[in-house]
Amino acid sequence: MRVSAKADYAVRAVAELAASPDGPVKGERLADSQDIPLQFLEHILLDLKHSGIVRARRGAKGGYWLAKPAEDVSIADVIRAVEGPIAHVQSAPPESITYTGSARELQNVWIAVRASLRDVLESTSLADLVSGNLPDNVQRLADDKDAWEPR
Partner DNA sequence: TATTTCGCGATCAAATCGGTCAGCAGAATC
Partner DNA sequence: GATTCTGCTGACCGATTTGATCGCGAAATA
- The residues that touch a copy of itself, with contacts defined as CB under 8 A, are 1-5, 7-8, 11-12, 15-16, 18-19, 33-34, 75-76, 79-80, 83, 85-91, 93, 95, 99-106, 108-121, 124, 129-130, 132, 134, 138-139, 141-142, 144, 146-151
115-144 positions binding DNA, by CB under 7 A? none
What mask, x for binding DNA by CB under 7 A, covers residues 70 to 109? -------------x------xx------------------
Between 34 and 123, CB nearer to DNA: 34
DSSP string, 46-83: HHHHHTTSEEEE-STT-EEEESS-GGG-BHHHHHHHHH
- Burial bucket for residue 2 (CB in 10 Å: 0-12, 13-18, 19+): exposed
Task: Say how many C-beta atoms besides its own lie within 10 A of residue 143's C-beta.
Answer: 10
Q: Which range touches DNA (CB under 7 A), out of 11-19, 45-53, 127-135, 138-146?
A: 45-53
Main-chain dihedrals φ then ψ at residue 11, nearest 5 degrees = -65, -40
- At 33 the three-state DSSP class reads helix
Q: Which range touches DNA (CB under 7 A), out of 25-33, 68-76, 103-111, 119-127?
A: 25-33
Say how many CA atoms lie within 13 Å of 101 toward its Cβ: 0
Between 64 and 110, CB nearer to DNA: 64
